[in-house]
């Protein structure tokens, strides 16, 4: 089953670059064959949120929700279970100073 892994961190948190490096995590997910794809995202300041209400397009600067943590990247995992996806997410370096959300794709 496929899972979306959202990588979130608080802006301004200072972390040692070695601690934040995903290289070991990437190597492990490659070895296990569970990472389908992923990438970093541009800064939240470049985000736009789009809504249409009563036929009118409303565009706001910034991310879609007011939260303490900002979405910094994503990965798509192919895992046997949610438990395996959570295990993989817990090994990501950002889990030690930010948050990782794991969510299954919609199953028909």
Please report the pLDDT score of residue 13 as a whole number: 87
The answer to whether residues 77 and 91 touch, using CB atoms and an 8 Å cutoff, is no
Please report the pLDDT score of residue 27 as a whole number: 97
pLDDT digits (tens, 9 = 90+) for 4-16: 999 998 888 889 9
DSSP-derived secondary structure for 23-49: HHHHHHHHHHT-EEEEEE---GGG-EE
pLDDT digits (tens, 9 = 90+) for 48-88: 888 999 999 999 887 766 667 788 999 999 999 999 999 99
Please report the pLDDT score of residue 67 as a whole number: 64
| Residues in contact with 65: Cβ distance below 8 Å, sequence separation at least 6, in sequence order | none
CATH number of the structural domain spanning residue 53: 3.30.70.1060
- Number of domains observed in the structure of the chain: 1
Q: Which range marks the domain in which residue 65 is found?
A: 2-104
């Amino acid at each position: 089953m496929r899972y979306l892994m959202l990588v979130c961190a608080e802006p301004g948190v200072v972390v040692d670059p070695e601690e934040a490096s995903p290289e070991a995590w990437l190597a492990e997910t490659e070895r296990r064959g569970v990472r389908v794809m992923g990438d970093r995202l541009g800064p939240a300041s470049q985000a736009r949120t789009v809504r249409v209400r009563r036929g009118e397009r409303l565009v706001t600067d910034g991310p879609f929700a007011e939260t303490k943590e900002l979405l910094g990247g994503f990965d798509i995992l192919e895992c046997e279970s949610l438990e395996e996806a959570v295990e993989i997410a817990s090994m990501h370096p950002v889990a030690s100073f930010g948050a990782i959300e794991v969510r299954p794709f919609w199953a028909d």
